Chains A and B, each alone.
Chain A
């Protein structure tokens, strides 16, 4: 193993040429130290360094090992690499301290990689050991051009003692659902991986990819196929399928810098000290085989406000003071937080009213790449500027995501925002209404119970019309009855006259003298007028006789005139009067005989004369 020149300062200057072989010096030095025992003086502070090779190819690594004697040293760090070399990691791949017989020795190693062809240089090593500064000179390394990189192979590589494989968190997913893929390095206990690096590019067509950070690289014991292994996650990737079908994860190649320990010395605690070369540094290349994931499409029925967000999210909204001057901005912040592809979340679409200018929202994103899910918060800041005074209401804005855990779309809403702007109101710049455009939707409802066709209206109309008809009929009937009751019919007249006649005759009997004769005459004349239409007024006997002639026989007509003559005499010639009662009796008898005559017209009711009538 080539050894660069070593320089000890202050406590002793000793130089070893770079050509000195280091194969045997270290065991010999250790043996000498053991032989000297405790009586030997404490070894002086010194530092030496070795490189595993002085020629590397591009991409290959070499190990630079520094051995400090006389203490653990302070300020121990990797020398600067220049030229075609680069330091793989600040962390040493080896750091072993041994104390024996009061002498302390520490070995520290770093890995360097050939970066480009040419001459590389590992710079001067400086440290402080036991209060003394020690320096190791720089060492030059030749870097040669490397061979072409082998094409990635789909076949798994790595033997049984060291391999890597991709372990997705799920084998099936829907479009947009997060799939976490862990690349886990498995190795047997005699192998100590120190550093892993991916090689080349890795393709996962059809998926959005986010690299995750792995907090702990401590290996864990596991068993595979009955064999004990150590396992460590060396890479974690969050994938979000962008299309349905089979998502193929291409094989991924890694280089692994490892230390292999000869197991035959594993029980010897001094094996690393006495047999340092039983631990070999190796560079291995392993490939995680391809993995496929079945991706199903999202279910149907997505609301219009769905823009592809998949995961679990919550929304918080904050707004500036919504009372501003016209022209002043109002900022509305909508934060979407949760598990899922935060990077691709679309902003909720605000529908601002006329008179308010809205600018595209500013997007701020914070993601957390630790843990086993890719999560974060994306904040959209909307700027709304009222162009005039008045009240403007920005309606609630929906935002929908698909929750694969529940298997349904869920909608969050940005609450409505009312902007009150001070200033002159805007003129109504609304366009004239389109005659062919439908009227707007109605926003308030006047509810009523559902009923069938109002056929009861026919009953109302018919019943209502029947009422006046019925009333008219009743009225007409009442009027007719009244008229019948009040009309002067012959029968009624006969009844009335009969009663009058009877009343007068009875009155005549109660009277005496001319009054009785006058009453008797009036009774008889009333009867004649009613019965035969004789004129009641004329007192001419001839006229009365002519009136009675058509209906009354001569004898009876004579008797009637005689009675009337007797009545006249009783009134106007009392001295010649006839017997008072006899005239009345004659009058009644004449009336009865006249009443008994057959009627020429309609039948008449006969008079019911006083019982005295003959």
Chain B
């Protein structure tokens, strides 16, 4: 009976897996087509191909990087930053992505990151949020083990490290899960309510990043500094 259930489950899963593989192959084909087109000078066609590759359920740091790089070359800083931020989330250690993201941020008017921030980004690039969580948990369990083993002083020291690691992991997870969007429209108005008649709160610059909420009826809540407001949904795209 169990074997029958397993067979039936496999039979149902096989088409889905096959379709997924096909979609990945199609995404890869479109990616290569885009590269070919851009080599031929057809950047518009290349962008269309790459965007097509990202619209079938698969993504890649390379395709986002290429979209961002082409946008950067075209002077579309906002879209460049959007795609390069996405690429950086997928491949934080990629030098090309980091370089172009740095350029996009600079051209968007963002000050360069501090040394601490760069170091943190480097560490997080190595560990990734999941790695940071794993490290924090390992340290915490280690401290507990030492405590159990009655190595109180070692346990206290490792516990302190574990506490730092847990805080870092929590920050990394917060950064990874924080809903951030890139402003695509220059001088986009932030309003108090999702209505064109609502009074304004602030104005956003293209290429700027803001914390965003879930879209509702063509509007999206944003947090700018300490102020909350609403912008038109097409003005901000989540990373």
Q: How far is the CA of A447 from the CA of B28 in the complex (A)?
A: 8
Stretch from B38-46, B116-124, B196-204 forming part of the interface with A: B38-46
Query: CB within 8 A of B147: which of A305, A395, A444, A472?
Result: A472
- Residue from A303, A443, A447 in contact with B59 in the complex, judged by beta carbons closer than 8 Å: A447
Distance in Å: Cβ of B218 to nearest Cβ of chain A? 21
| Pair B63/A445 contact, Cβ less than 8 Å | yes
CB contact between A460 and one of B45, B90, B130, B147 (< 8 Å): that residue:
B130
Complex interface residues of chain A between 434 and 474 (CB less than 8 A to chain B): 436, 438-450, 453-455, 457-458, 460-461, 464-465, 467-468, 471-472
A351 within 8 A of B: yes
Instruction: Report Cα–Cα, A438/B42, bound state, in Å.
Output: 18
Tell me, in angstroms, the Cα distance from A449 to B21 when the chains sit together: 11
- Asked if B141 is at the interface (CB within 8 A of a chain A CB), the reply is yes
A448 to B42, CA, bound (A): 27
Residues of B within 8 A of A443 (CB): 35, 62
Q: Does B224 contact A (CB under 8 A)?
A: no
Interchain CB contact under 8 A, A442 and B65 = yes
Contact of B62 among A445, A458, A460, A467 (CB under 8 A): A445
Q: Let me know if B28 and A445 touch, CB within 8 A.
A: yes
Which among B41, B173, B179 is the interface contact of A304 at CB below 8 angstroms? B41
Give the residues in chain A near B24, CB-CB below 8 Å. Answer: 447
Q: Are B177 and A396 in contact (CB under 8 A)?
A: no
Q: Give CA–CA (A447, B59) in the complex, Å.
A: 6
User: In the complex, which of the residues A439, A449, A457, A467 contacts B58, with contact meaning CB atoms closer than 8 Å?
Assistant: A449
CA distance A441 to B64 in the complex (A): 10
Could you say which residues of chain A place their CB within 8 Å of the CB of B134? Answer: 464
Taking the complex as formed, is A565 at the interface, i.e. its CB lies under 8 A from any CB of chain B?
no
A541 within 8 A of B: no
Question: Which of B2-10, B93-101, B229-237 makes up part of the contact surface?
Answer: B93-101
> Complex: how many Å from CA A468 to CA B73?
51
Q: Known contacts A447-B28, A460-B133; decide if A468 and B144 are in contact (CB<8 Å).
A: yes
- Cβ-based interface call for B36 (8 A): yes
Q: Does B148 contact A (CB under 8 A)?
A: yes
Chain A interface category by residue count: 35 or more
Q: Is A199 an interface residue (CB 8 A)?
A: no
For the complex, what is the distance from the CA of A445 to the CA of B62, rounded to whole Å? 5
Contact between chains at B148 and A475 (CB < 8 Å):
yes
B residues 98-119 with Cβ under 8 Å of A? 99-100, 103
Q: Is A468 in contact with B96, judged by CB distance below 8 angstroms?
A: no
Tell me which of A395, A441, A447 contacts B69 (CB under 8 A): A441
Closest to A395 in B: B39
Q: Is the CB of A441 within 8 A of B27?
A: no
B169 close to A (CB within 8 Å): yes
Which chain B residues in 172-195 approach chain A with CB under 8 Å?
A: 173, 176-179
Contact, CB under 8 Å: A450 / B39: no
Asked if B61 is an interface residue, CB under 8 A from chain A, the answer is yes
Min C-beta distance of A13 to chain B, whole Å: 84
Inside 8 A of B137's CB, which chain A residues have their CB?
A: 461, 464-465, 467-468
Query: A535 near B: Cβ within 8 Å?
Result: no
Contact flags A293-331 to B (C-beta < 8 A → 1, else 0): 000000000011100000000000000000000000000
> Does A529 make an interface contact (CB < 8 A)?
no
Chain A residues whose C-beta falls within 8 Å of the C-beta of B143 in the assembled complex? 468
Does B40 contact A305, Cβ atoms closer than 8 Å?
yes
Interface string of A255-292 (1 = CB under 8 A from B): 00000000000000000000000000000000000000
Q: Is B219 part of the contact surface with A, judged by Cβ < 8 Å? A: no
Chain B residues with CB below 8 A from A449, complex form = 20, 57-59
Q: Which residues of B contact A398 (CB under 8 A)?
A: 40, 42
**Smallest CB separation, B177 vs chain A (Å):** 5
| Inter-subunit contact A439/B99 (CB<8 Å) | yes
Within the complex, what minimum Cβ distance (angstroms) separates A306 from chain B?
10
Q: Return the CB mask of B56-83 against A: 1 if under 8 Å, else 0.
A: 0111111101100110110000000000
Q: Is B166 an interface residue (CB 8 A)?
A: yes
C-alpha gap A464/B35 in the complex (Å): 43
A-B interface, 7 closest residue pairs, ranked by CB to CB distance from nearest:
A439-B96, A442-B62, A445-B60, A464-B137, A445-B62, A304-B41, A457-B173
- Residues on B facing A (Cβ under 8 Å): 20, 24, 27-28, 31, 35-36, 38-42, 45, 54, 57-63, 65-66, 69-70, 72-73, 90-91, 94-97, 99-100, 103, 129-130, 133-134, 136-137, 140-141, 143-144, 147-148, 166, 169-170, 173, 176-179
Given contacts A447-B27, A468-B140, 12 further A-B contacts (CB under 8 A): A304-B42, A395-B39, A438-B99, A439-B69, A442-B61, A445-B63, A448-B60, A449-B59, A454-B176, A464-B134, A468-B137, A471-B144
